[in-house]
Amino acid sequence: MPRELAIAIGLRKIAPLPNNIPFRTIEVAPIDTGGAFRPDWRMQDPSRDPREPSGNEGSGTGNDHGWSNCTMVSAALVYAYHVQDKTGPQGGDMRHNQGDLSGGTDLYDAETA
């Protein structure tokens, strides 16, 4: 089906040209969750993770872990939520509780941790 016909009968939409996009901001009010669990934010930044570097590791290793630690930081947040403990593990804790200490990690590593 030609593009123009699909647009004419409403099967396809077209985006506005960049200079025709309306600019507006919307103020969003904070949500009151009624005391629901909100874990303290754990940064992936190695300079903010108190568990990196760990033990006898040099700062270069801690820096390498920190910037390739997104899976472990996410797993730490999930764990903290699951046990309802805002002071739960950091990404560095999760990283050092499994065997893959080089490069990035995956969900199997997070399961092991």
Kindly state whether residue 27 falls inside one of the protein's structural domains.
no
The range of the structural domain enclosing residue 72 comes to 33-112
- Please report whether residue 11 resides in a domain: no
In this predicted structure, the answer to whether residue 37 has a pLDDT above a threshold of 60 is: no
- Residue 8, pLDDT above cutoff 80: yes
83 found inside a domain: yes
Tell me the two tokens of residue 40.
Answer: 């303290």
Structure confidence by residue, pLDDT tens digits, 57-85: 776 676 777 678 888 888 888 888 888 87
pLDDT for position 104: 81
Q: How far apart are CA 54 and CA 101, in angstroms?
A: 11
The CA-CA-CA angle for residues 26, 29, 31, to 5°, reads 135
Residue 39 lies in a domain: yes
How many structural domains does the chain have? Answer: 1
**Residue 69 is encoded by which pair of tokens?**
């630690």
Asked if 69 contacts 47 with a C-beta cutoff of 8 angstroms, the reply is no
Q: What is the mean predicted confidence (pLDDT) over 26-37? A: 66
In a domain? residue 100: yes
Domain presence at residue 14: no
Q: For the full predicted model, state whether its pTM sits above 0.85.
A: no
